[in-house]
Amino acid sequence: MRIGERVSGDHPAASHSTDTASQQVSTEPVMPADLTWAGRVRATVLAYVALTKPRVIELLLVATIPVMLQADRGHVDIAVIAFTLIGGWLGAGSANTLNMVVDADIDKKMKRTERRPLARRAVATRSALIFGLVLWAASFAVLYFAANLLSSLLVSATIIFYVGVYTMILKRRTWQNVVWGGAAGCMPTLVGWAAVTGSISWQPIVLFLVIFFWTPPHTWALAMRYKEDYKAAGVPMLPVIATEERVTRQMLVYTWLTVISSLALIPATSWIYTVIALLAGAWFLERVTKLYRDTKRGAEVKPLKVFLQSNEYLAIVFCGLAIDAVVGMQTISSYF
């Protein structure tokens, strides 16, 4: 990852010296000169918080808590849930921080990401790397001592996959980057279940698939909105390399797979989840179908609405599961 740009000049030695100095300077964090000591501390803290992508971590809460409640239907262990969320938050923060370290070069090229801490040099790259590794170690320790070894190993596997496979290999090489890379965002379902039971069963795998199939239409909707950003950064997202009709057709396929996967959990739940999953699924499908039809006939489309609705859909389905699990009514499968 090149930090400094070579400065042209007549003398090679002078050019090399300038380039080296540029690289040395650019590794240090940059802050406004007029900031007070308190202002610098506040800006630094906020920059480190931003490295963890706190808004992205909302998915961790949505996915983990309902799965943990479903793993022990009718019971709520606040302590286990709290420590699992802390360990999961630390792990997600680590993955997001290390992701920013690797992606610092392209973050500078995209309007959507140009204000991230490393892109605007609010944090030194080396400091961000150390911060990410410390969060990783803390996550492993919290989950190991508060839950079990399996949950801590699953979080570590998530970090390795997200940074090593998605960020460093898939993201810049294939349009299927978010298809396979999205698996990292599905792991909270397995982590939550493992923290409660110490094992993995078919139910968290179904919920893993719900998020896995949900990720492409969710991400591609945003990528349609910021297509030029991804193109400028050299990231081959599907909206960059394909027509809008093809993109929305793929989104519709994955939306169907998302809804079907959500319905596969019905036997292990009651009528509460069943009704919510059916209604939310129909609502989400209607929105994506409309986007596809509008695109196909050449009408003006607003993909960002699909992006926002996809968030709402996932929240509704998983919150419905949480309510169903806490109430603990007789499951559908018990009638047969």
Domain CATH for 174: 1.10.357.140
pTM of the full structure: 0.84
**Residue 91 domain-assigned (yes or no):** yes
Instruction: Determine contact, residues 89/146, Cβ cutoff 8 Å.
Output: no
**Residue 30 domain-assigned (yes or no):** no
**Residue 27 domain-assigned (yes or no):** no
Instruction: Map tokens 């969710």 to a residue.
Output: 218
pLDDT score of 11 more than 70: no
**Residue 28 domain-assigned (yes or no):** no
pLDDT score of 5 more than 80: no
Structural domain for 217, as ranges? 46-335
Instruction: Map tokens 């349609």 to a residue.
Output: 224
Instruction: Map tokens 């991230």 to a residue.
Output: 116
User: Would you tell me the crossing angle of helices 271-296 and 303-327 to the nearest 10 degrees?
Assistant: 170
* pLDDT recorded at residue 260: 98
Q: Checking phi first, is residue 179 left (phi over 0); if not, alpha (psi -120 to 50) or beta? A: alpha
**Residue 60 domain-assigned (yes or no):** yes
**Residue 179 domain-assigned (yes or no):** yes
Q: Rounded CA gap, 304 and 227, in Å?
A: 12
SS3 188: helix
CA distances from 153 to 69, 70, 78, 89 (A): 21, 21, 22, 15
Kindly indicate the confidence band of residue 33, based on its pLDDT and cuts at 50, 70 and 90: low
- Kindly state the average pLDDT of the residues 86-97: 94
Q: Rounded CA gap, 292 and 244, in Å?
A: 9
Q: Rounded CA gap, 272 and 253, in Å?
A: 26
Q: CA-based Rg of the chain, rounded to a whole angstrom?
A: 22
- Domain count across the chain: 1
**Residue 122 domain-assigned (yes or no):** yes
- Kindly state the average pLDDT of the residues 89-108: 92
**CB-based burial of residue 266 (10 Å sphere; 0-12 exposed, 13-18 middle, 19+ buried)?**
middle
Q: Does the CA dihedral 205-207-208-213 come out positive or negative?
A: positive
pLDDT score of 1 more than 60: no
**Residue 20 domain-assigned (yes or no):** no
* pLDDT recorded at residue 57: 72
